[in-house]
Amino acid sequence: MKKLALIFALICNQACADTVIGVSDGDTLTVLSKGHPVKVRLANIDAPEKKQPFGARSKQSLSDLCFGRDATLDSGKQDRYGRTVAVVHCGDVNANVAQVRKGMAWVYPQYNHDPSLPAIEAAARNSRVGLWSERDPLEPWLFRKERKARSSYLN
């Protein structure tokens, strides 16, 4: 029996259902896990920043998919900000894939480990859905880089 409990605990550490209690933006949410809030960054994708076009819509999209629902996190890694980086399933929906499919996030090339995502992004781009309806959407990593450069120039 102890072996079974240990196996379950190890599996559960990798993928267990938690409840989504907050959405910060289009690629970050908070789950309640074992009574504690845990900040989660969706793996493989990068959503528009709040001050970018589609930033608010991307956040709303993730909220519509996940807020108040049970979520399963397939992960274990943490990023440099202490967030858990995960593929998040809200119900039976892979939120990471859904955000890209709906044109609410880019595939994050520097950190992508899902070989199916570039084709999903290309289909969204070709259909001009979400942020792809914009003439020349700026990738969030370039937006952050520009903002940082502007900030250091002003200081």
Domain 2-154, what fold? OB fold (Dihydrolipoamide Acetyltransferase, E2P) (2.40.50)
Closest alpha carbon to 98 in 114, 132, 121: 121
Given 83, 121, 125, 134, the catalytic residue: 83
Please state, as a whole number, how many other Cβ atoms lie within 10 Å of the Cβ of residue 16.
17
| Tens of pLDDT, residues 127-136 | 999 999 999 9
| Tens of pLDDT, residues 17-45 | 899 999 999 999 999 999 999 999 999 99
| Residue 93, token pair as written in the block | 């929906």
pLDDT given at position 154: 61
Q: What is the residue whose two structure tokens read 């900000």?
A: 81
Burial letters for 53-85: b for 16+ Cβ neighbours within 10 Å, e otherwise? ebbebbbebbbebbbebebbbebeeeeeeebbb
Which burial class, exposed, middle or buried, applies to 123 when counting CB atoms under 10 A from its CB (0-12, 13-18, 19+)?
A: middle
Confidence check: pLDDT of 8 > 90:
no
- How much of the chain, in percent, has pLDDT values that exceed 90? 81
pLDDT band at 12 (very low <50, low <70, confident <90, very high): very low
101 counts as catalytic = no
41 counts as catalytic = yes
pLDDT band at 149 (very low <50, low <70, confident <90, very high): confident
49 counts as catalytic = yes
pLDDT given at position 155: 57
pLDDT given at position 152: 64
Q: What integer best gives the mean pLDDT of the chain?
A: 90
